[in-house]
Amino acid sequence: MTKKTIEDWQALAEKELKASPETLTWLTPEGIAVKPLYTADDLADVGHLESLPGFAPFTRGPRATMYAGRPWTIRQYAGFSTAEASNAFYKRNLAAGQKGLSVAFDLATHRGYDSDHPRVEGDVGKAGVAIDSVEDMKILFDAIPLDQMSVSMTMNGAVIPILANFIVAGEEQGVSRDKLSGTIQNDILKEFMVRNTYIYPPEPSMRIVADIIEYTAKEMPKFNSISISGYHMQEAGATLVQELAFTLADGREYVRAALAKGLDVDEFAGRLSFFFAIGMNFFMEAAKLRAARLLWTRIMQEFSPKKPSSLMLRTHCQTSGVSLAEQDPYNNIIRTAFEAMSAVLGGTQSLHTNSFDEAIALPTEFSARIARNTQLILQHETGVTKVVDPLAGSYYVESLTKELADAAWALIEEVESLGGMTKAVDEGLPKRLIEEAATRRQAAVDRGEEVIVGVNKYRLETEDEIDILDIDNTAVRLSQIKRLEETKRRRDAKAVETTLAELTRVAQTGEGNLLAAAVEAARARATVGEISDAMRAVFGDHSAEPKVVSKVYGDSYHDDPEYQMIVSRLSEFKTALGAKPKIMVAKLGQDGHDRGAKVISSAFGDLGFEVLAGPLFQTPEEAADLAISQKVHVVGMSSLAAGHKTLAPQLVEALKAKGADNIIVVVGGVIPRQDYQYLLDHGVAAVFGPGTNVLEAARAVMDLMQGRLRNG
């Protein structure tokens, strides 16, 4: 196509749209300029076009026939309440067409606490299934043949006791560990960046990763030792370039850790897997998976593997949780379907589709069936499985693949210049960039620059109430404690003591393998908490210092009249109050998902509040003490893990007991509308659900403070 032809098209397009060329070009959050028209000329310097599926650099897929030979695996990430309840849910899903299990654990388990620990009162069974010992794990997989079923487990902090329990549960089902198939996430660097369900400091945590890779390489040939996850990065606000770059840089770091254990790269590289989020930028998400395979091949070639499979990136994908909206929630079904199609066109190996109600609560059986059927319809009715890589050769997608790969590689090289991903995480680079991106996006949504149907445009006048799944946290905890006590009563206490002492010795000396030692402890019925504590005694606990970005949300508003009005009002209120209005943003319980808390802290700080970002994992009592000592006017509790009905009333009561009921308590996050009145009845002053505009929240908080000031 000639330059003259392009110029003629541009002139015609401008005439039709009455727009300038700049208006026609879209700048993505990643800074990639997307043109309205792509032609063969855009592929002139794209080097990956000649590759075929199944051959390096695997841009078109890791298998030659892809879905034409075998469709992707349908997985549904699920787990809640007790092992019995989750087991029944799994069996129903498998009977209805699900092909693999993907287990969600509760936050107490993630953080290495048993259900009877006082710090996890509001977390047990809430955002996943509670696992305290092998007895729970056996029930979880009761009558599910582990020699036939691939099991994926999202676990990082307490990865050693959970994988040990899984191995022993398999043994006692008659399935030796060499027959177990599936994946353990085991991706701790991502936890330090965004998700925060870590236990130990970075250095011993990386040792745990390496020990698991070593053990599985030798003992579990069908099992993937790590799922290197970008999913939680995108959920925390990362751009696609950041998700791609930091995930692959994490992978490079894990390979180096395994090599440092003396392993040959071909012993383990073929059992590494990846996990990406799929959001609403349809073509770019598909291009991201293509770019990921291209770049991973480039990275792995550094280590000179002999097997072609060592160069392959294989990935699981999950549709976005952040793209789900509380408002007009049936729109989420449509969003998830588009995201699922994007993942498939990008060439994922397995897929989880979110349920439409997950912006509000845990999925019901009704919503989970729709999510599962979305994939079944894709596989059986759309024809996408008939052709290998249907997007190949697309001017737009191939150009995007190259642009994403180039931009991500530049960021990977920046990480490398710092000394690798562990050093970059220590210095806070990924966390800062992701938090800035999250805050920038929130401002774009609040301003209406990024349209979300039913949230900031085309809103319903009234929202219909939908059925939700509500877990009785107290009943689950009591049930778990009862089984825990029974397990401890029946076990050989001497064997537990001996095996835990050996685990501590391995941790202390560095001699031996941590997972191998933990398997012996689990077999003796040591609990998840006891195994975690045996390593805590040597490694200690990791404690992150909360930091908040500034001048990102405010800079996005510039001279916006509404923003300036709130800034002015806060300034006047400061004069009347005699001090800056002070808000503490608190994360209670074991919920480490802090995107919302960080965005609110950043935005409120830019508006003129004095913001105290509370540490993660506080108890209500600790939060109350900190709020009083720091003389805050408001505590904003951020909740994403369904513990609000337990933890918020406890915070209100703790403040009241300490004579500080003048401190206002508000709650925001993933909170069903059905729970609003309960919280208000228990002393919470205001509730801000998902999708709340930050400026509206700031106005409401100011109204509450001024009302409290007027009333003495």
Which sequence positions are flagged as catalytic?
Answer: 77, 231-232, 587, 591, 593
Q: What's the rounded Cα separation, in Å, for the pair 712 and 709?
A: 5
Q: What's the rounded Cα separation, in Å, for the pair 311 and 295?
A: 10
Residue 77 phi, psi (nearest 5): -70, 115
Tokens 């799929």 identify what position? 278
Burial 171-192 (b: 16+ CB within 10 A, else e): bebebebeebbbbbbbbbbbbb
SS3 content of the chain, % helix, strand, coil (to 5): 55, 10, 35
What is the CB neighbour count within 10 angstroms for residue 477? 23
Q: What's the rounded Cα separation, in Å, for the pair 685 and 667?
A: 8
Please report which helix (H) or strand (E) contains residue 232, including its range: helix 231-235
Q: Give the single-character DSSP code of 644.
A: H
Q: What's the rounded Cα separation, in Å, for the pair 207 and 213?
A: 10
Strand partners, 686: 666
Q: What's the rounded Cα separation, in Å, for the pair 287 and 292?
A: 9
Q: Give 558's contacts (C-beta < 8 A, 6+ positions apart).
A: none
Give the neighbor-by-neighbor strand order of the sheet with 634-639: 610-613, 582-586, 634-639, 664-669, 686-688
- Beta-strand (E) ranges in 246-291? 272-278
Q: Could you tell me the two tokens for 539?
A: 């490694």
365 three-class SS: helix
Query: Do the Cβ atoms of 352 and 102 come closer than 8 Å?
Result: yes
Q: What's the rounded Cα separation, in Å, for the pair 592 and 599?
A: 14
- Amino acid at the residue 69: G
Q: What's the rounded Cα separation, in Å, for the pair 563 and 692?
A: 15
Q: What's the rounded Cα separation, in Å, for the pair 693 and 7?
A: 42
What is the CB neighbour count within 10 angstroms for residue 583? 26
Strand partners, 228: 274
What is the CB neighbour count within 10 angstroms for residue 365? 12
